[in-house]
Structure 1
Amino acid sequence: MILSKLQTLGKAYSQIAGLLYLIIAIIGGFSIGYMPSVIIAEGNAVLTFQNLIDNQELFRWGIAGDIVVMVLEIVLTVMLYHLFKSFSTTGMTIATYSRLAMAIIMGVNLINYMIPAIIMTQPDYLSAFSSSELESLTLLFFKAHKYGELAWQIFFAIHLFTLGYVIRKSRKTPKWLGIIMLLGGIGYAGDSFIQFTLMNSEILSILFSSLLVLAVIAEFWFAFWLLIKGMNKEAKA
């Protein structure tokens, strides 16, 4: 009902989509980037568990941020579909299902955060394990969460690549924006691939990391373009 009313707003519809994109980027930067960097000490289970104990409030806010991002992702995905489906229904269908799959994996992946949270707050669980076991379990579930991120990143790569193709085809948006999105999608997919396969290739790591930088640039460019310039819903090519 709400989305149906928003669709009557014309250009404002895309501006709302741009605003949601920026909100997701900001909250996601906190919950996916900042919070783990404070708590997780790679390869150090003792320090990771201590960081979790010392930063319980930050950890809870990180989980809350992930939940907000998941909800907004669903709304934004539907809005992007309505904005660009007239340029390529097939392309936007692929982009939509891919991003929705990403949101679903993000939700399932929260379990890997909740298990350490439950262990940490329940005395019965704390007494059932030794200190070293608790520390190892905590680091293990955080590591599993990281691989969960790599899993949803694959679907986001498909979304970004396909959306880039549609944007380039639309002729209503900057051509270079679509091209950079295409390259960014390759960067996300490549980064997930080399980490999942434990491939030790410095050249590929540098290449895909560089493409990930392009992806970040493209996403912010796209968000600000929607927010500032915008376009009418289902503009015709």
Structure 2
Amino acid sequence: MPHALHPGGRLAGVLYLIVVVTGIFCLAYVPAQLAGADAGAMLDNVVARQALFKQGVAAFVVEQVAYLLLALVLYRSFQDVSRSAATLMLAFVAMAVPLALAALSHRLQALSLLTDADSAQLLSPEQRQQLAHAALKAYRGGMQLVRVFWGLWLLPLGWLVLRSRRLPRLLGALLVLGGLGYVLDVLAELLVPGYADWWISAHLTLPASVGEIGTCLWLLLFGLRAARPAASRSLAQ
């Protein structure tokens, strides 16, 4: 008999899709559009394209809310497999979200320094640019810490997928590898000189990207298998 579907599977897929789409927009598309040849040019782009910058901030907030809701749905879906692992997964997300939103405040601070009329009256253009640049560096430093938790939450999630088989085991393996990749990537950035120039630096988090997008699509298309009743498992043995 085909497996029954868990009622939270499709909801998790929708929430994961929101996380993926908003994440690509605010973490990849917007920074690429605002990038410049140097820090000064990038700050000029922020001023010239304020609307896009603000859209990136709004998308980031939506992503974090969806991320937390996703973790809650996945916790309810997997707690019967291992409550401790599901709790650990949720705890890592619960730590990541406030850290990410705190880091985001530095982006808002940078925009305010560059565009606010009061800042223009109190500070010279050079001072405003220096402080805005420092605020964006603080944002990047905060996000480096957040990325550790983006990796850590994938470890128990991948383990739960592997143990429960409610999703393909390949996805579980990719999630575990991706989680390790995230953590190693951050540690290498902090501890290994010249790591950004290494070939592997651009690929260490690739399993996470493939695993998360694959999990999102599988949940949307096929849902999440529900646990079989004990009687059914006994008959199948």
1:198 and 1:109 map into 2 onto residues whose CA distance is: 24
Aligned to 1:34: 29
Aligned to 2:71: 77
Letter in 2 for 1:210: H
2:61 and 2:26 map into 1 onto residues whose CA distance is: 10
Aligned to 1:230: 223
Aligned to 2:206: 213
Give a deviation string over 1:55-82, Cα, whole Å, max 9, x none.
Answer: 0000111111111111111111100101
Aligned to 2:186: 192
RMSD: 2.1
Contact 2:23 2:60 in 1 (8 A): yes
2:145 and 2:207 map into 1 onto residues whose CA distance is: 20
Give a deviation string over 1:143-175, Cα, whole Å, max 9, x none.
Answer: 221121111110111101121111111122211
Where does structure 1 lack aligned partners over 5 or more consecutive residues? Answer: 1-9
Letter in 2 for 1:219: E
C-alpha distance 121-132 of structure 1, shift in aligned 2 (>3 A): closer
C-alpha distance 76-30 of structure 1, shift in aligned 2 (>3 A): same
Q: Structure 1-normalised TM-score?
A: 0.87
Q: Does 1:109 align with 2:66?
A: no
Shift of 1:202: 6.6
Aligned to 2:89: 95
Shift of 1:186: 1.0
Equivalence map 1:44-193=2 (5 Å): 44-193=38-187
Where does structure 2 lack aligned partners over 5 or more consecutive residues? Answer: none
User: Percent identity among equivalent residues?
Assistant: 24
Structure number, greater radius of gyration: 2
Q: Number of aligned pairs?
A: 226
1:202 and 1:152 map into 2 onto residues whose CA distance is: 18
2:143 and 2:149 map into 1 onto residues whose CA distance is: 10
| Matched residue SS, 1:67 | helix
C-alpha distance 235-78 of structure 1, shift in aligned 2 (>3 A): farther
Contact 1:17 1:80 in 2 (8 A): yes
Letter in 2 for 1:229: F
Contact 1:191 1:209 in 2 (8 A): no
C-alpha distance 209-88 of structure 1, shift in aligned 2 (>3 A): farther
2:161 and 2:172 map into 1 onto residues whose CA distance is: 5
1:208 and 1:47 map into 2 onto residues whose CA distance is: 26
Q: Structure 2-normalised TM-score?
A: 0.87
